Structures are given as structure tokens and as C-alpha cells.
Amino acid sequence: MSIMDYNTFGSIFNKEIFEQSKPKLIETIAGDPKRYIGLFRPTKPKGKLLQNLLQSHEIRMGNAFEVLLEKYFNILGYSILQKKFTNEKLDIDQCFRDKNTIYFIEQKMRDDHDSTKKRGQIDNFEKKLNLMINNYQNEKLIGIFYFIDPDFRKNENYYKLELSKMKDDYGVDLYLFYGKELFDFMEIPDVWNEIFEYLKEWKNSIPELPELNFDVEPEQSFNEIKDLSPAIFRKLFENKEMFKEIVLTLFPQKKTLNLLLEYFKQKRDIKIYMTLYSELNKCLSHSSSKGH
């Protein structure tokens, strides 16, 4: 019997990895257009856009696993605790209670970092350890440094040594786990087995490469990007080279852009949207006259 149904698993991954990828990409482009259209680049704009989108999906997979594991712990009866501590500007990846024990987990996708980053990560873990001790005094704490992908263990010896020293100094049980080891420790091995099988099924359901033509589903694309800051749109429309090389690569049929044009027109009583309407209208007219 499954712990979580596959549809729930898939919806978590699709939402966390693919939703918001369009506005995030557009924000990145507007923030640094020379990364996409600079002459001294070995890739054409479309290749760079694809590379950026793939990198974004890799990063957001870590976010998906944070949401997924919390969902599993919740289903299995653990009490989910506060994870965001705004005063300290620190977030705990997983924090939950089981009877008289509070667990906190620093969760990463894989252990493949260089020396500088591994030191930064262990320093960050110690800050979170201090935070948990201060917020849960007189409670039994267990801290876990966890890497999801079991095939990468580049810094295992380093992390084990540092966690061992912290355990002695702070008097808190601390562990390093990879892949299934976390679930064996929590005595819920079936969770990892289910994740492993669902992940294989989910990967078979996704395309080989992300779709770069956002006009394939113009209504959806419009709804995802329409609420971006006007400052983002200003940068997209004022830079004519970026509009030609980047914007028209993402919106080649201009369907989404025409929906944006109408949206800006409807908000014309707000000055900035009048400006955006005018700029986008000029860009579209110019591109039509050039045969794009």
C-alpha cells in the first residue's frame, strides 16, 4: 500500500520545478541581458536560454524535495514545526517533532561541492544548530545533515569529522545521511523505496528538453508572467536587440505578447502601464515590418 499516491508526488514536482520557471527566466534575462546576447559567447541566445532553464530546473528540484519530504513526514504523523526564523534570517529545511524528540534537517541534493562551499555549508549548519538550541531549550534535539542523492559523497569524511566535533561541543546528537540512510534511521524505509519508484515514473513522463516556445500555451504563459514588475517589462521592451534576439525567441508567434498588450491597455489609467503599452506596441509593429 502506498504512503502517498503518485498523482500527489507528481503534482509537487511539476509545481515546484516547472511552475514559475517562465517568470524566473524573464527576470534573469532582464537583469543581465548581456549574458544572452553578448558577442563573446560560444552559444547563440536560444542555447543560452535553454541552458539557463535547465539550470533553474536543477536548482528547483531541491525545493521540490523539501516540499515532498515535509509532506511525507506530515502523512506519517510527525508534527511539523516552524521552519522560518525571520529575526535570524535562517530557514530550516525540515523541522518536526516525534513524541519527545525534535528533528531538524539540513537538506541538500548532492555532496559534490568544492572546499570553499563545503566549509560554508558546515558553518551554516552550526548556525542553525545554535538557533534550534536557543528556540527549543530543554528539548531533546537531533540534527541531521542530509544529501538526497546517494551517488555523490565527495566530502563525506569532512562532514563526519565536523559533525562529530560539534556533537561533542554542543552535546546534541548529529548525523550525516545519504539517500535511504535517513529513512532507515527514522525506521520508515518504505518512504525511500516509494520515492525511488515514483521518481523513475515521473522522469519518464517529462520531455527530454524544456519547451522554449512559450507561445505553445499563450494563456498559461500570460497568466504566469503578467504580474511581473513593470521594471522587468521596461528592460525587455527598451532594449531592441534583446527584444529581437530573446523576447521573440520565447514568444515567436507573439500570441502571449498580444495578450500582454491588451492587459497593459486595460490598465492604462496607471501611467507605467500606458508606457509599457506604447513600448510593446512599437516593438511588435517594428518586428512585423521586419518580417519577424
> What is the per-residue pLDDT across 11-52, written as a single tens digit (0 to 9) for each?
999 999 988 889 999 999 888 887 777 666 777 778 888 988
How many other CB atoms are there within 10 angstroms of residue 276's CB atom?
Answer: 23
Q: What is the distance between the alpha carbons of residues 291 and 148, in angstroms, rounded to a whole number?
A: 49
What is the sign, positive or negative, of the torsion defined by CA atoms of 66, 70, 76, 82?
positive
Q: What is the pLDDT of residue 89?
A: 81
Residues counted in the chain? 292
Residue ranges of the domains in the chain? 77-187, 214-289
Which cell is 250 given?
A: 520565447
The one-letter code for the residue type at 289 is S
Phi/psi at 175 (5° precision): -135, 155
Q: What is the pLDDT of residue 266?
A: 95
The topology under which CATH files domain 77-187 is: type ii restriction endonuclease, domain 2 (3.40.1560)
Q: What is the pTM of this model?
A: 0.84
> What is the per-residue pLDDT across 200-216, written as a single tens digit (0 to 9) for each?
999 999 988 888 999 99
> What is the per-residue pLDDT across 212-233, written as a single tens digit (0 to 9) for each?
999 999 999 999 999 999 999 9
CB contact set of 291 (below 8 Å; sequence gap of 6+): none
- % pLDDT > 70, the chain: 97
> What is the per-residue pLDDT across 171-195, written as a single tens digit (0 to 9) for each?
999 999 999 999 999 999 999 999 9
Q: What is the pLDDT of residue 86?
A: 73
Residue whose C-alpha cell reads 507528481 in the numeric block? 10
Mean pLDDT in the chain? 92
Q: What is the pLDDT of residue 286?
A: 82
pLDDT over 80 (residue 147): yes
pLDDT over 60 (residue 87): yes
